[in-house]
């Protein structure tokens, strides 16, 4: 029997950040991590390039040694990459990553989605990376789990960080969770009865802005932060709904592509 914060009475759950993730995955079979701006968007771009992606704790100096031991490149922050010029190492910017070549293995640190994914590695759940790009593909993958009686899926809205390190719930991650869930319900409306109130709120939030998704994402606090810093293209990439069929699943240390190939019709 879980605690009230695990939302164990519901097969489809949602909570925020690292602490919320650790609570809501209690008893779950699958965790869908959503960090739209930008870990899971960058992850999906890298997977589409054919790379394996290693999530890693943010600003841990051991990342260099970790990457070298796996013959992998590691991503630096957007600003550091820009300061280094056009030949800089790859970064968390999904727009710039799309131009990368020869990328086979990538260590991708981030303070939110990557850190959460790494922390859930040993919790006995399948960890999936989701964003707006691959929401239909992830929805189909989640439905595979939910078709089996008794299985549950925990959605994790990664959120952002205030300067003091505390969690800043960010609306784009709520929309991202809601986008995946909206696709799930479009295929299986009866699953609406399985949603926790938190998951139900994400669907409502997404449905409210679905017709103006790109504008909403650009106007959000996180979107404006990136626009003002000169990374508008990252927001535009993140808004490309259903442009990828990648389903990044954490296998051991790294995310690999487990594409949903069944003819579900979702996102068609």
Question: Residues 36-89: pLDDT tens digits?
Answer: 999 999 999 999 999 999 999 876 788 889 999 999 999 987 877 666 555 456
User: Angle at the Cα of 204 (from 201 to 209), degrees rounded to 5?
Assistant: 130
Task: Give the pairing of strands 248-251 and 254-257.
Answer: antiparallel
Count Cβ neighbours within 10 Å for each residue of 227-246 and write b for 16 or more, e otherwise: beeebeebbbbbbbbbbbbb
Radius of gyration of the chain (CA): 17
Mind listing the pLDDT tens digit for each residue in 187-222?
Answer: 999 999 999 999 999 999 999 999 999 999 999 999
Where does the pLDDT of residue 268 fall: very low under 50, low under 70, confident under 90, or very high at 90 and above? very low
Domains and CATH numbers, the chain: 9-252 (3.90.1560.10)
Q: Are 99 and 229 in contact (CB under 8 A)?
A: no
Q: Which has more pLDDT, 29 or 80?
A: 29
- Give the pLDDT confidence score for residue 3 in this predicted structure: 87
Burial class of 247 by CB neighbour count within 10 A (0 to 12, 13 to 18, 19+): buried
Between the alpha carbon of residue 92 and those of residues 41, 69, 180, 250, the distances in Å are: 9, 21, 22, 18
- Burial label for 210, CB within 10 Å (0-12, 13-18, 19+), is middle
Sheet holding 52-56, edge to edge: 12-16, 153-157, 30-34, 126-130, 248-251, 254-257, 52-56, 105-109, 73-74
CA separation for the pair 18, 28 (Å, rounded): 16
Structure-derived torsion over alpha carbons of residues 132, 137, 142, 146, reported in degrees to the nearest 10: 130
Look at residue 42 in the predicted model and tell me its pLDDT.
97
Rounded Cα gap, residues 259 and 69, in angstroms = 28
Proportion of the chain above pLDDT 90, given as a percent = 81
Name the DSSP letter for residue 15. Answer: E
């Amino acid at each position: 029997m879980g605690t009230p914060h695990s939302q164990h009475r519901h097969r489809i759950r949602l909570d925020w950040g690292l602490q919320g993730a650790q609570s809501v995955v209690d008893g779950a079979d699958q965790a869908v991590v959503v960090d739209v701006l930008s870990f899971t968007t960058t992850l999906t771009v890298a997977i589409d390039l054919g790379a394996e992606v290693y999530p890693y704790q943010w600003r841990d100096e051991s990342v260099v040694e970790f990457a070298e031991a796996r013959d992998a490149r590691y991503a630096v922050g957007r600003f550091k990459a820009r300061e280094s010029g056009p030949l800089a190492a790859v970064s968390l910017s999904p727009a710039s990553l799309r131009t990368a070549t020869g990328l086979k293995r990538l260590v991708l640190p981030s303070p939110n989605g990557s850190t959460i994914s790494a922390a859930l590695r040993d919790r006995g759940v399948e960890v999936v990376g989701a964003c707006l790009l691959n929401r239909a593909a992830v929805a189909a993958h989640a439905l595979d789990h939910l078709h089996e009686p008794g299985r549950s899926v925990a959605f994790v809205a990664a959120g952002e960080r205030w300067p003091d390190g505390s969690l800043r719930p960010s609306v784009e991650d709520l929309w991202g969770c809601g986008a995946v869930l909206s696709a799930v319900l479009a295929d299986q409306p009866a699953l609406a009865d399985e949603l926790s109130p938190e998951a139900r709120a994400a669907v409502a939030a997404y449905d409210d802005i679905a017709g103006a998704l790109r504008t909403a994402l650009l106007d959000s606090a996180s979107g404006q932060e990136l626009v003002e810093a000169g990374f508008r293209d990252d927001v535009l990439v993140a808004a490309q709904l259903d442009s990828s069929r990648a389903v990044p699943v954490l296998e051991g240390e790294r995310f690999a592509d487990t594409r949903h190939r069944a003819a579900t019709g979702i996102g068609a």
